[in-house]
Amino acid sequence: MNKKVLLAGESWTSTATHAKGFDQFASITHHNGAEQFLALFERGDYAITYMPSHDAQTHFPMTLEALNEWDAVILSDIGANTLLLHPDTWINSQRSPNRLKLLRDYVAAGGGLMMIGGYLSFQGINGSARFRNTPVEEVLPVRCLPYDDRVEVPEGFTPECVTQHPLVHGIDGAWPHLLGYNEVELKPDATLVMQVPGTAHPLLAAGQFGAGRTLAWTSDMSVHWLPPEFSSWHGYERLWRNSLDWLTRRNG
């Protein structure tokens, strides 16, 4: 039976104004940054349900029972406000469940949670992802900084493996370059698997909270921090499969 994984986030909408002499018009484009990731799991042991950011505000699970239907949850480039401000609260001033607390309780009871980096992950651009001092940060293997945590590396950096771990099993040879990441701090009881060379900043970290497991990958799942050279590399699929294998292994 396939293990069930919920991927929330990794989508955005952009607007543009086109000026042509005297005239102008606007256009709107919807972007899906998860396409390559999802293509890896079209067949196999994992059934991935993709919930874009604009759907997650309303449809992300509202009860612990609903969350427990998933073997693992991935948050990628989706800020805390999207999970905190259900339309019932944001528009109608009604009480609604705190889904950050539900994620903490889900992990404590044995669930797996991974956060993947981006402009609205960890603390994010201008600090607007806002996961610092939240129940989600409580379970992650890293701490968020109190300000804009993006580190842009336009010249690229090569990930550095610092310990042998199931997360990097079967990934041989040099890793392709990355173009940026979210700066975070490793928690004392967490395992640092990969780091940004010359900085000791965590790139891939693993931890445990209660009966569950958590992961932090501080670079991107797709553009712009993760370039085509990385997503076309043989280790791209192995990295994510290893991550899900480790997250959903409850013992050992």
124 domain residue, yes or no: yes
* Distance, CA of 191 to CA of 241 (rounded, Å): 19
**What is the CATH number for 84?**
3.40.50.880
Within a domain: 87: yes
Q: Name residue, tokens 């196999």.
A: 44
Angstrom distance (rounded) from CA 105 to CA 108: 5
Span 31-64, pLDDT tens digits: 999 999 999 999 889 999 999 999 999 999 999 9
The tens digit of pLDDT for each residue in 162-209 reads 999 999 999 999 999 999 999 999 999 999 999 999 999 999 999 999
CA distance 114 to 212: 11
Token representation of residue 93: 């001033």
pLDDT at residue number 250:
57
Quick check: is 34 in a domain?
yes
On the question of pLDDT at 251 being above 50, the answer is no
Q: Does residue 56 fall inside a structural domain?
A: yes
The answer for residues whose C-beta is within 8 angstroms of residue 97's C-beta and 6 or more apart is: 62, 63, 86
* Confidence category of residue 252, pLDDT binned at 50, 70, 90: very low
Q: Could you read off the pLDDT of 91-132 as tens digits, one per residue?
A: 999 999 999 999 999 999 999 999 999 999 999 999 999 999
Q: Where does residue 176 rank: exposed (0-12), middle (13-18), buried (19+ CB within 10 A)?
A: middle
Tokens at residue 188, please? 């004392």
**Tokens 């890896």 — which residue?**
40
pTM of the model: 0.96
Q: What's the total number of domains in the chain?
A: 1
Q: Which helix (H) or strand (E) holds 108?
A: helix 99-108
Rg of the chain taking only CA atoms, in angstroms:
18
* CA dist., res. 196 & res. 155, Å (int): 13
Any domain includes 16: no
Q: What phi and psi values does residue 242 have, to the nearest 5 degrees?
A: -60, -40
Domain coverage including residue 239: 3-9+29-247
Residue 140 inside a domain? The answer is yes
CA-to-CA dists, residue 161 to 154, 165, 173, 183, angstroms: 21, 9, 11, 17
